[in-house]
Amino acid sequence: MRRKIDENNLNKSSSGISREAYEDSLRKLQIELVKLQRHFIKYNEKILIIFEGRDASGKDGTIKRIIQHLSPRETRVVALGKPSDRDRSSWYFQRYVPYLPVAQELVLFNRSWYNRAGVERVMGFCTEAEYKEFIGSVSEFEHMLVRSGIKLFKYYLDISKPEQKRRLDKRRSDPLTQWKISALDNHALKKWKQYSLARDEMLAHTHNLTTPWTIVRADDKQLARLNIVKDMLSRLDYADKAKRLILPDPQIVLTYDAIYPEKGLLAQ
């Protein structure tokens, strides 16, 4: 079912959730994830989840909660670093192909080939020709993956500028999150508008019925995490599914629509 955002409620603040309610809901959803893993191992399924979003949008925390109680043998997180000289001279998608899921695997990409449409485009790390080649070929590449049997999901975590600033400031001051700091953090806010334009163009050109984008309103980390897991579970088959538990909030998780950037319904 297509979930679209209610424009009248877009700017309403989240009611939030208590720590106790969050922990309780998360545990129940993680039990559902274990059920899901048993299913895709039994039926040799291949699942690929892509997480995209601005710096500090909550990708790391969401992935951590998803994999927390899953078997590490059948679960992999991919977060590639800066491409090598060899990577830059190869077919763009080549460096990602070895990390794709095989039968009985769940793979989560913490950023993906969409780096070309985001960071690389904004920061000038790729040429205009390379960008256009990517935009023109990425959907067919993903369609090939789907035809091969991979179940592919694409999530874009959307946060506001004030929330990103708050999280980046906290990242710099917290000794436990120093590993997250990168040279690109300083450009996240300075180039906010450029990143917004790159995001809008990326979503418009790469959203389609076969590999659609799912937008997540991620200013509230806890609600974003819970609803991403609910959305995943609701779209995958597995035995003994707790259907009432996994209904996502359509004001938090929604299928992308071309009207969103046109009407300013994504963080600007």
Per-residue pLDDT of the chain (268 residues; tens, 9 = 90+): 444 544 444 433 345 899 999 999 999 999 999 999 999 999 999 999 999 999 999 999 999 999 999 999 999 999 999 999 999 999 999 999 999 999 999 999 999 999 999 999 999 999 999 999 999 999 999 999 999 999 999 999 999 999 999 999 999 888 888 878 787 888 999 999 999 999 999 999 999 999 999 999 999 999 999 999 999 999 999 999 999 999 999 999 999 999 998 888 899 8
Query: β-pairing, 46-53 with 150-158?
Result: parallel
On whether residue 268 sits in a domain, the answer given is no
| Rg (alpha carbons) of the chain, rounded to whole number | 18
How many domains is the chain partitioned into structurally? 1
On whether residue 129 sits in a domain, the answer given is yes
Per-residue pLDDT, 15: 52
On whether residue 4 sits in a domain, the answer given is no
> Is 211:140 a contact under the CB 8 Å cutoff?
no
On whether residue 190 sits in a domain, the answer given is yes
DSSP-based three-state secondary structure for 121: helix
Alpha carbon distance, N-terminus to C-terminus of the chain: 27
CA nearest neighbour of 55 among 127, 115, 99, 136: 115
Range of the domain at 58: 18-262
Q: Which amino acid is at 131?
A: Y
On whether residue 51 sits in a domain, the answer given is yes
CA dist 61 and 219 (Å) reads 13
Query: β-pairing, 150-158 with 105-110?
Result: unpaired
CA dist 168 and 189 (Å) reads 9
On whether residue 11 sits in a domain, the answer given is no
> Is 47:150 a contact under the CB 8 Å cutoff?
yes
> Is 35:77 a contact under the CB 8 Å cutoff?
no
Q: Which residues contact 191 (CB under 8 A, 6 or more apart)?
A: 122, 123
On whether residue 9 sits in a domain, the answer given is no
- Output the domain CATH number for residue 219: 3.40.50.300
On whether residue 3 sits in a domain, the answer given is no
